[in-house]
Amino acid sequence: MWRTWSVLLAGLVGAVLLGAPAGAAPVTERAEPAGRADAVAAALRRDPVYVTDHAPRALPPDAAARIRASVARLGVPVYVVVTPVSGLGPENPSESFAALLRDRLGKDGVYIVVPPSGGGGEIRQFGGVRGLPLDDAWSAAGSETAYDAGAPEMIARFVDIALSGRARERRDHPRPKPESKVRKALDADDAADRRAGRIEWGVFAAGTALSGGSILGLLVGRRVRSARKAAAPRRPPRKSTKKSTRKARG
């Protein structure tokens, strides 16, 4: 009897240990975006601009202040979340995360979810707020902003375009994309190398000119002295006075 109960108990424990991970893993994956949405929504209740502290190198210290100043120009409630968007959803993580934030916060307005780099992300409008060409302005801002500009620059450009009255035109005919910071640094290095090369060439040319001028001066001076000697009149040879002296003595 005891042996039978031992076998049954061991089988039950084994089934629990083997079956639990298979059933729990999908729940954990589905709950992860919701857990992040709860935490970020709680932060948005205190401040409508949430900036992650996990990307200090990608964001300047005044990123939140700059974003607040930019979105305040829109004249509508705006909630901005600057956070890495990977892992927030299976297909379109930023869109699903914005919807989760709206559900958790329960407030109408414009919701912007953007990574610290500024590239990608998305914008959505909920409720009866002032109509703005959000999609066109966001698309144009992505085309007119350098790929490594950062979230504050991306949002500032978006606000400028949204208020310009030409959002669709700039979406269809974007301005030339500015150079990236890396490209500017490389161009600056190239320009410095060219300036250094010109300076080195100038010093070399000056040294060559000085040395060549010295040699040329010596040659010219020698030629002038030779010409002067050739042009000078020759003196007649002096006659000897020995014979006259002998006659005077005789």
Residue 174's nearest CA partner among 217, 210, 138 is 138
Give the residues across from 112 on adjacent strands.
Answer: 80, 123
Reading the block at residue 235, the tokens are 């003196």
Indicate if the pLDDT at residue 195 is higher than 70: no
Look at residues 74, 54, 51 and name the one whose alpha carbon lies nearest to residue 159: 74
54: Cβ contacts below 8 Å, ≥ 6 apart: 83, 84
Is it the case that residue 19 has pLDDT exceeding 70? no
Q: By the 8 A CB rule, do 178 and 142 touch?
A: no
pLDDT tens for residues 209-239? 666 666 766 776 777 677 777 766 666 555 5
The per-residue pLDDT for range 163-180, each reduced to its tens digit, is 999 999 999 987 776 654
**What are the chain's domains?**
31-182 (3.10.310)
pLDDT of residue 74 exceeding 80, the answer is yes
On whether the CB atoms of residues 177 and 153 are closer than 8 A, the answer is no
This prediction has a pTM of 0.59
Parallel, antiparallel or unpaired: strands 109-114 and 122-126: antiparallel
The pLDDT confidence band at residue 118, using thresholds 50, 70 and 90, is confident
In angstroms, how far is CA 218 from the centroid of its own chain? Answer: 58
Average pLDDT in the 10-29 region? 40
- pLDDT tier for residue 196 given thresholds of 50, 70 and 90: low
Is residue 129 pLDDT above 90, yes or no?
A: no
- Of residues 182 and 42, the one with the higher pLDDT is 42
By the 8 A CB rule, do 95 and 122 touch? yes
